[in-house]
Structure 1
Amino acid sequence: MSVHNVTAEAETFTCNAYLAEGERTVLVDAGSMPGVVDAVANYVDDVDAVALTHQHGDHVAELDAVLDAYDAELLCYGDHQRRTRKLEDGDTLTIGDEEFEAVYSPGHADDHLAFVSDSTIFSGDVVVYSDGAFDDGSFGRTDTAGQSREREIESIRRILNRLPAGVEHMYAGHGDEFHGDVRAVVERALERAERREPKYPEE
C-alpha cells in the first residue's frame, strides 16, 4: 500500500491528509489546504472514499471540494449531510490494500476515530508521533471546550488494547509519520497524557 501525505507542502495550517493507493483508493481526512484536489490528482485519477478521523476544521475544510471532484463516498462517525456510511466502533473498512478496524477514540473530539490494520494505524489527533509539545509519542490537545483529558486517556488505552503486535506504520493527523515500534510510541503518549499536566504550559 502506497501512502502519500498530500498536504505536506501546505503553507497554511492543515492536518496531514493521507492518500492510500491500492485496491480501494481512500483519502484519510481532507485537510484545509487550498488545492488539495490537485495534490491528490498528482497521484491518482479517482478516489473511492474519504474516511474522516474527525470533523475539526483543519481536517474537513476542503472536504466538499474533494467529494465534488471525485464523487467519493464519505465514511465517518459524526453526522454529516454528505455521509455515505456511518462508521461505528469496531466496524471494518478497506483503506488501500488493507482491512482496517475503526476504533472510537474521543477526548480530543467527540467523533474521533482511529483506523488500525495489522501493519498500520491512521491515528488522527488522538495520538501522534511528534507535534512540537513532545517528540516520539504525544497526544491530542484537550484544553478547549468539549474536550476531555480523561476520555483521551481512555481512548489511548483502547487503541493499545486493539493494536496488533505487528503495527509498524503510524500516520497521524499532525507532525511526522513514523515507521518502527508503534506500540512503544503509543505507550509513551499514554504515559505523558496520564501525567495530567498541561500539554502547552505557556498557554
Structure 2
Amino acid sequence: MIHNLAADVQAFTSNAFLVDGDRTTLVDAGANFDIVPSIAERVDDLDALVLTHTHPDHVGNLPDVVESFGVDVWGFDPEGDGVDHAIPDEGTVTIGDDEYLALHTPGHKDDHLCFYSRAAGVLFAGDLVFPNGGFGRTDLAEGDRATLIESIERVEAAVDDDLGELHAGHGPSVARNAYSHIELASEAARHTP
C-alpha cells in the first residue's frame, strides 16, 4: 500500500510516499510539516528512506525521520547532505514488497532518480514528470532543459505503456492511463518555450 503522507499538507512540500511491506520505505521526506506522527500512525518501524533528489522540499523532514526511526537514507549521491548509501543508475532497490529499477534522470537536479517496478506497475517520478503533461523546472541550479528532455525520453522508453500508477513529487498520483502522462510531459518539454 502506498500512502502520500503530504496529501493534505498546506505548506510548501514535496509528496512523501510511505510504502509498507517487507521493506517499509519512505520515498522522499517532504518539508515544513511534522511527518513523524503520520508515519508512526501507519507503521511500527521504517526500514529505509529513499530520495528521488535532494532539493529542500524533498529532504526538509529528513533529520526528524532519521532521528525518530534510526533509518538509513538512500540516494544517488552519497556526498549529498544526509545520504548514507548510493543507489547507482540502473541499480535496484526494494521499496515495500517490490524491486524497483533506479534510473538516473538529471535535468531538474543532477542527483535525480526515478524508481520503476515493472512487476508492481509503479513509477516514482520525483520532479521529472507530473500529471497532465507537467515536467520539472529547469531554472534552478543544476537545471538543464535538454538534459531533462533526454531523461524524460529515457523513462518513457523504460516504462511499460500499461503502467498502473504514477507517483510524482508534487500533485496527485495517477492510477489511470499513467503512461500517457509521461508521453504528454515528453511532448510538452520538447515544445514548451
Aligned to 1:39: 38
Aligned to 1:10: 9
Aligned to 2:50: 51
Q: Which amino acid aligns with 2:150?
A: E
Aligned to 2:142: 146
Q: Which amino acid aligns with 2:176?
A: G
Give the 4+ runs in structure 1 shifted more than 6 A: none
Paired positions, count: 190
For 1:145 and 1:74, the matched residues in 2 are separated by 23
Query: So what's the TM-score if we normalise by structure 2?
Result: 0.94
Residue of structure 1 aligned with 2:170, choices 174, 185, 190: 174
Aligned positions of 1:108-147 closer than 5 A? 108-118=108-118, 119-129=121-131, 136-147=132-143
How far is 1:5 from its partner? 0.6
How far is 1:81 from its partner? 4.9
| 8 A Cα contact 1:7 1:33, kept in partner | no
Query: So what's the TM-score if we normalise by structure 1?
Result: 0.90
Runs of at least 5 residues in structure 1 that lack an aligned partner in the other structure: 130-135, 198-203
Residue of structure 1 aligned with 2:186, choices 171, 190, 196: 190
Instruction: Choose 44-53 or 136-145, whichever is displaced more.
Output: 136-145
Q: Percent identity?
A: 39
For 2:162 and 2:145, the matched residues in 1 are separated by 28
| 8 A Cα contact 1:31 1:62, kept in partner | yes
| 8 A Cα contact 2:92 2:100, kept in partner | yes
How far is 1:83 from its partner? 2.8
Aligned to 2:60: 61
Aligned to 2:157: 161
Q: Which amino acid aligns with 1:111?
A: D
| 8 A Cα contact 1:7 1:39, kept in partner | no
| 8 A Cα contact 2:12 2:31, kept in partner | yes
RMSD between aligned alpha carbons? 1.2
Deviations 1:54-89 (A, max 9, x none): 000000011011011111121101223543320111
Runs of at least 5 residues in structure 2 that lack an aligned partner in the other structure: none
Aligned to 1:71: 70
| 8 A Cα contact 1:149 1:196, kept in partner | no
Q: Which amino acid aligns with 2:89?
A: D
Secondary structure of the corresponding residue to residue 13 of structure 1: coil
Aligned to 1:200: none
